[in-house]
Chain A
Amino acid sequence: MEMAGTSTAEAARNLETSTMVRSWANTNPSTPGITRVQIRSVAGKLRVTIESSAKESPLSWGELEAECVYAENPASMRGMAFVARYKFGFLETLVEGNVNAGLLVLAAFYTFRDGSHRSDYFSREFFHEVAP
């Protein structure tokens, strides 16, 4: 059984996270966005690795610790959602994931910090479990 707390609140409950701790692949194999997500539990913390599509080989965003893990309701100890934040300098991406009926739903909010003309944008993609 995988357990995870949060890095920001020592008093937070440790939630059971086994439904999230696995490898996930996009249900759309031709996505131009996020292709794979790996979620691990390391020393009680949830760690997230994201890969996205690129012209040649997949682009790894690297692994980071989830900011917080969330249960399905206030009385539950079953963790089924998380928030993580990637900071690339010119771009910040807030990633919010939740597991529902065996599917990982990932919402990503892309905020550009480079002063370019591009609109900040939002994506929502779906992932199924795969072998690690």
Chain B
Amino acid sequence: MNHVAVEQLQECNSGTLPGLDQTALTGTWINTNSARSLIRRIEIAPGQKQLTVHIFGAEPGLPEDWGMAEAHPFAENTASGLAMAFSVLFDLDGIESLLQGYVVKGVLVIVSFTQVKDGRDRSSSFGKEFFYRLHGTAF
């Protein structure tokens, strides 16, 4: 595993965190599965410390354009300056979708936790989808 031992999970105060290098995550990502899915396309733009994520959906009953949200980037470990994962929450008017994204060998894996908030007739649901990056779209 790449993460750190628990002794590093202790409080300390020693300087300011610079922003992470976000290039592994940015760009336009297309779902590898053209059949029914939750998300069709993702556009990820860099920011100073956050990423901007724009989701284009594909699931009936949910918007085609989810809009944009700020995503928090995460590194592989406490010493790394390279962002390789993010977490972002989308509020879709009665549905909330918490997305976990991470890059493995150039593939963006999106794990979705979609929660029903308005009592509509469907279960809160979990999903996993895979995306490839359009050539030349990394920032």
Report the Cα distance A89→B72, complex, angstroms. Answer: 18
**Which of A6, A98, A118 is the most central at the interface, judged by chain B CB atoms within 10 Å of its CB?**
A118
Are A119 and B122 in contact, with the CB atoms below 8 A? no
Mask: chain A, 9-38; 1 = CB below 8 Å from B; 0 = not = 101110100000000000010011100000
Query: B81 near A: Cβ within 8 Å?
Result: yes
Measured CB to CB, the closest approach of chain A to B108, in angstroms, equals: 13
Are A70 and B13 in contact, with the CB atoms below 8 A? no
Residues from 1 to 48 in B contacting A, C-beta threshold 8 Å = 1-17, 20
Secondary structure type dominating chain B contacts: loop
**In the complex, which residue of chain B has the Cβ closest to the Cβ of A32?**
B5
Report the Cα distance A69→B131, complex, angstroms. Answer: 25
Residues of A within 8 A of B (CB): 6, 8-9, 11-13, 15, 28, 31-33, 52-55, 59, 68-77, 80-81, 83, 88-91, 94, 96, 98, 107-112, 114-125
Residues of B within 8 A of A (CB): 1-17, 20, 72-81, 84-85, 87, 98, 100, 102, 111, 113-119, 122-127
Chain A to chain B contacts (Cβ below 8 Å), 17 pairs: A32-B1, A32-B3, A32-B6, A33-B5, A52-B9, A73-B125, A91-B9, A98-B111, A107-B102, A111-B72, A114-B12, A116-B12, A116-B14, A117-B17, A118-B12, A119-B20, A120-B72
